[in-house]
Amino acid sequence: MSLLNILRYPDPRLHKIAKPVAIFDERLKKLAADMAETMYAAPGVGLAATQIDVHEQLIVIDTSETHDQLRVFINPEIVWTSEERQVYDEGCLSVPGVYDGVERPARVKVKALDLEGKPFEVEADGLLAVCIQHEMDHLKGKVFVEYLSPLKRNRIKTRLLKEERELSKERKKAVAAR
């Protein structure tokens, strides 16, 4: 397994729409395993393939405290949402250090395929429901900051671009020092 590079907002590749997975093979299993390793190392509770510049409908999620309940959703589809809504403070591995409230349905029912291509359904509430909806947004090319006001979104974008420039300068200095 290997750690993968996570795209950072406002990278335009985060806005690509993922295509359904058609081939269930060893490549897909390795991709899911690498995504899980990357998610745990980050650390995070969910990761969509879009975030690692693979535009296929694949997400990995583990909301457990012990990091031993990995869930893999391939070609996920929300088939039901509750009328009840909740605001949850969300963060994102592609938007490091940013957390803000996003309102979403409190409960969802999702159908998806597993790594063997077998269908399953999950009813979720709480953090799992939020995480599923958040990661599925990535597959549609949407990042959670797009739920925030334009002012907040622009401040986040400016801050992250500045951090990226500073990191880039430090990398260049390190290379020059070698």
- What distance in Å separates the CA atoms of residue 167 and residue 161, rounded to the nearest whole number? 10
The pLDDT of residue 175 is: 81
How is 74-128 classified by DSSP, letter by letter? EEEEEEEE-S-EEEEEEEETTEEEEEEEEEEESEEEEEEE-TTS-EEEEEEEHHH
In a domain, 130, yes or no: yes
In a domain, 79, yes or no: yes
The pLDDT of residue 49 is: 98
Domain with residue 73: its CATH number is 3.90.45.10
pLDDT digits (tens, 9 = 90+) for 23-43: 999 999 999 999 999 999 999
pLDDT digits (tens, 9 = 90+) for 91-145: 999 999 999 999 999 999 999 999 999 999 999 999 999 999 999 999 999 999 9
Q: Is 131 annotated as a binding residue?
A: no
In a domain, 102, yes or no: yes
Q: Is 134 annotated as a binding residue?
A: yes
pLDDT digits (tens, 9 = 90+) for 74-103: 999 999 999 999 999 999 999 999 999 999
In a domain, 99, yes or no: yes
Q: How confident is residue 170, by pLDDT bands cut at 50, 70 and 90?
A: confident
> pTM score, two decimals?
0.93
135 tagged catalytic? yes
The pLDDT of residue 177 is: 81
Q: Is the per-residue pLDDT at 1 higher than 80? A: no
CB count within 10 Å of CB 131 equals 21
Residue 105 contacts by C-beta under 8 Å, 6 or more apart in sequence? 81, 82, 83, 84, 85, 86, 129, 133
In a domain, 159, yes or no: no
- What distance in Å separates the CA atoms of residue 128 and residue 83, rounded to the nearest whole number? 17
End-to-end Cα spacing for the chain: 29
The pLDDT of residue 176 is: 81
- What distance in Å separates the CA atoms of residue 147 and residue 167, rounded to the nearest whole number? 27
In a domain, 28, yes or no: yes
In a domain, 7, yes or no: no
User: Peptide bond before 10: cis, by omega within 30 degrees of 0?
Assistant: yes
In a domain, 63, yes or no: yes
Catalytic option among 56, 121, 135, 163: 135
Range of the domain at 131: 12-147
The pLDDT of residue 168 is: 82
Q: Is 92 annotated as a binding residue?
A: yes
Q: Is the per-residue pLDDT at 178 higher than 80? A: no
Total tally of structural domains belonging to the chain: 1
- What distance in Å separates the CA atoms of residue 57 and residue 26, rounded to the nearest whole number? 16
The pLDDT of residue 82 is: 98
